[in-house]
Amino acid sequence: MNKLTKIDLSTNHISSLSMNAMKDLDDLNRKNNLTLDLSNNPLACNCKTIDFIKWISETDVHLFRRYQYKCLRDDNTKIVLHQPKLVYQHLKKECSSYGYVIAGVSVAIIFFIIILFFGVIYRYRWKLRYLYYMTKQKYRGYQLQQDRDETDYLYDAFISYADEDQMFVHDEMIKNLEDKYSMKLCLHKRDFTPGKDIAGNGYHKCHS
């Protein structure tokens, strides 16, 4: 390898060279004035091969028949590499713009997911809190006292809720606490005495 002065890679299926290959070729050139032939290869000009195009424009390796080299863009158009520096500068701008677009879209998607996540949490905050405490009590092995003295209090709990949570209270809380755990809940729309104010009703029911 130390005496190698010419490498013929023409008429192959080479689209670019790896970083290691380019470094090795530069090292050989410093020792032996290397000549490299890459003609008649389907070289590629895109963001993935931009380092290779830059190398072609800057290397001291003698590229045999370099002015005949052609590279294929992503849109299938061919470019003659007789001015590789201009091709590299164009690719650099194009890939930078593409990178900004990808970064912007990624940030927007992440931001949207975060907003959606916190929106869902806020919308169902009371349900989530309820489920948390139910799970916590179940995990600890908590069981309702079955032999409680029902003559002390008529109700186990008074439920205060906003109108928008009415469906949750009636469909979820009553179903789980009253039907499943045999608790007696006091709901103002169901159990309050008509004609009395809310404060009086609540005090009376809680001390019955």
pLDDT at 38: 93
pLDDT at position 49 is 92
- Of the pLDDT bands very low, low, confident and very high (cuts 50, 70, 90), residue 40 is very high
Least confident of 35-39, 83-87, 98-102: 98-102
Task: Report d(CA 173, CA 131) in Å as an integer.
Answer: 10
Please tell me the distance from the alpha carbon of residue 108 to that of residue 114, in angstroms, as a whole number. 10
Check residue 108 and give its pLDDT: 84
Mean pLDDT of 107-134: 85
Predicted pLDDT at 145: 47
CATH superfamily of 6-95: Ribonuclease Inhibitor (3.80.10.10)
Q: Per residue in 142-185, pLDDT tens?
A: 554 444 444 566 777 777 778 888 888 888 888 888 887 778 88
Name which residue leads in pLDDT, 152 or 22.
Answer: 22
- Sorted by where each begins, the domain ranges of the chain are 6-95, 144-206
Quick one: average pLDDT of 185-206? 65
pLDDT higher than 90, residue 93 = no
**What pLDDT is recorded for position 169?**
82
pLDDT (average), residues 62-74 = 89
> Closest by alpha carbon to 66, among 78, 83, 54?
83
At 147 the pLDDT is 47
Long-range contacts of 56-61 (CB under 8 A, 24+ apart): 56/81, 56/84, 56/88, 57/84, 57/85, 57/87, 57/88, 59/22, 59/25, 59/26, 59/29, 60/26, 60/29, 60/30, 61/25, 61/26, 61/28, 61/29, 61/34, 61/35, 61/36
Q: Is the pLDDT of residue 67 over 80?
A: yes
pLDDT for 201 beyond 60: no
Whether 20 shows a pLDDT value over 80: the answer reads yes
- CATH assignment of 144-206, given 3.40.50.10140, 3.40.1390.10, 3.40.47.10, 3.10.20.740? 3.40.50.10140
CB neighbours of residue 201 within 10 Å = 18
When pLDDT is cut at 50, 70 and 90, the band that residue 203 belongs to is low
Give φ, ψ of 8 to 5 degrees. Answer: -105, 105
Do the strands 78-80 and 157-159 form a parallel or antiparallel pair, or are they unpaired?
Answer: unpaired
